[in-house]
Amino acid sequence: MSEITGIALTGQMRSGKDTIATYAAEEYGFMRFAFGDALKRLAHEIYPWVPAEPKPRGLYQHMNVMRDYDPAVWVRHCFADISETEHERDIRFMPYVPPIITDARQQNEIDACRARGYVIIEVFADESARIERMESAGETFNPAQLQHATERHIGEFAADYTIDNSGKQADAFAQFDEIMRRVRA
């Protein structure tokens, strides 16, 4: 059985990337990371009066302007977090835990993951399912969010595998299990 370097999930908002990552952590021992983790930390440090729930998607999309100064800013932060976690595990003689990145949305993020040997998985859900998930999470649905720059290029990346999460969660989990069987073979 081969060891997985890591997994990067790509897909549009509310397609179920975090749900798949949670399942991967619980069932396979992956550790969750996201390119957006540092962005969210900084957003709430700058705007502490903005609650994290329901997700302030507009704020997060606005904060992504930091990529104009350094397109790799979130890539650098994410892989620094992964390296720090790996170092902490190493000095404690703990076994390797592969990372799963939940939000590869830009070409440079996909490229950085591929360069490190990550498996790229697209999580797909049809638009009506995604809108329903936004509304049930208490988010205000704005059609413009579906056309934001962070959403427009998803699907253009060549993923190694695709999970269709338009239906039941159990079906998506079964698809992930099958992917794990294949990549570990």
User: Considering the domain boundaries, does residue 2 fall inside one?
Assistant: no
Q: Is the pLDDT of residue 3 over 70?
A: yes
Domain hosting 99: range is: 7-184
Q: Is the pLDDT of residue 72 over 50?
A: yes
Residue tagged 């990346």 (tokens): 157
* CB atoms near residue 96 (< 10 Å): 13
Q: Is the pLDDT of residue 115 over 80?
A: yes
Tens of pLDDT along 144-166? 666 666 666 666 788 999 999 99
User: Considering the domain boundaries, does residue 129 fall inside one?
Assistant: yes
Spatial contact of 145 and 151, defined as CB atoms under 8 Å apart:
yes
The pTM of this model reads 0.86
H or E stretch including 159? none
Instruction: Please state the rounded mean pLDDT for residues 98-124.
Output: 95
Q: Could you tell me the pLDDT band of residue 96, with boundaries at 50, 70 and 90?
A: confident
Residue 110 belongs to domain with CATH number: 3.40.50.300
User: Considering the domain boundaries, does residue 26 fall inside one?
Assistant: yes
How many structural domains compose the chain? 1
User: Considering the domain boundaries, does residue 1 fall inside one?
Assistant: no
User: Considering the domain boundaries, does residue 46 fall inside one?
Assistant: yes
Lowest pLDDT segment from 13-22, 116-125, 130-139: 130-139
Between β-strands 99-101 and 7-10, what pairing exists: parallel, antiparallel or unpaired? Answer: parallel
